[in-house]
Amino acid sequence: MPIVFIKYIYERFHLLSHNPPKTPPSFNPNNTTQHTTTLLHSDTNTPGGAPLPTNTRANAAEIFAAHEKEEVWFGMEQEYTLFNLDQKTPLGWPVGGFPGPQGPYYCGAGAENMFGRQISEAHYAACLFAGLDISGTNGEVMPGQWEYQVGPCVGIDAGDQLWASRYILQRVCEEYQVFCTLHPKPITQGDWNGAGMHTNMSTKKMREAGGLAVIKAAINKLAAKHVEHMGVYGEGNELRMTGALETSSMDEFSYGVANRGCSVRIGRDTEKDGCGYFEDRRPSSNCDPYIVSSKLMHTIMEDVEVPEFKAIDRALA
């Protein structure tokens, strides 16, 4: 790890998580001799105690509390793009120009391909010190773009941890004097991937034997509410979701097995095992994780009858 970041790591980010009232807050105590930075993640309310309009956590917490027995798990894949401080040139790109075409950058190696790995790894370490359930990181398809994964997390905890991880990311980039954006389509000229926050989800019944049928029933409900979901899945998402570059169409719902061009993907292992999880690939990188996770929960738990939606052809890859 770069020496410049050692002091930063030893300041140790700690997360005091704000859980539903019935669950006591968790705290990761500091055992170092260095000074401590404590992160407090809290609801925001009016003086009278009512949630502020921007407090999307409050509504999400109510939805998850109402369906606690479902034991819903989320895994969120947060993509982001790094820029020089001019906020115009992505990290590793020539000023005023473009790098070589996409291909060698995804999960790549080498100084000619990977720009910002030290930031990605420093962020990963800081999240671990904070006690977050960060589970991985990788270089993305577009050079200068990265991803990390948070989860599996239960219910409201997914949004809590994702928001905390975003704050830590900005602090890490501040240390390296690099601009970080969550815009879903930071480069609109040329064939460059956008950035999303693919959201993996399962309930207890989905993870049990026969769960694939439960997953497909949930997907049918998501298909019926596609327009509603797209309306809350992030600002500027229409620039990203064009039906090309590993995205589905903004205007049409689709799902399939192992198909990354769908709205919702079922993994090969889930199909093989007959149970597991599904991946909603529609949320943008700048979406509100409280809104996304609670909207998914609310939709799949609605007691309504919807027509069966036909899967598109299985992906060959």
* Alpha-carbon dihedral angle through residues 164, 125, 151, 288, given to the nearest 10 degrees: 30
Read off the tokens for 285.
Answer: 């990188």
What are the structural domain ranges in the chain?
3-41+56-92+103-300
Q: How far is CA 175 from CA 86, 161, 167, in A?
A: 16, 21, 13
Q: Which residues of the chain are under the pLDDT cut of 50?
A: 1-33, 316-317
Residue 19: other Cβ atoms inside 10 A: 16
130, 168 in Cβ contact below 8 A?
Answer: yes
* Per-residue pLDDT, 292: 98
Nearest to 275 by CA among 211, 215, 205, 201: 211
262, 279 in Cβ contact below 8 A?
Answer: no
* Per-residue pLDDT, 14: 43
Q: How far apart are CA 226 and CA 235, in angstroms?
A: 16
Q: How far apart are CA 264 and CA 278, in angstroms?
A: 7
144-202 residue pLDDT tens: 999 999 999 999 999 999 999 999 999 999 999 999 999 999 999 999 999 999 999 99
What type of residue is 75? G
Query: How many Å separate Cα 175 from the centre of its chain?
Result: 23
Instruction: Provide CATH code, domain 3-41+56-92+103-300.
Output: 3.30.590.10
108-148 residue pLDDT tens: 999 999 999 999 999 999 999 889 999 999 999 999 999 99
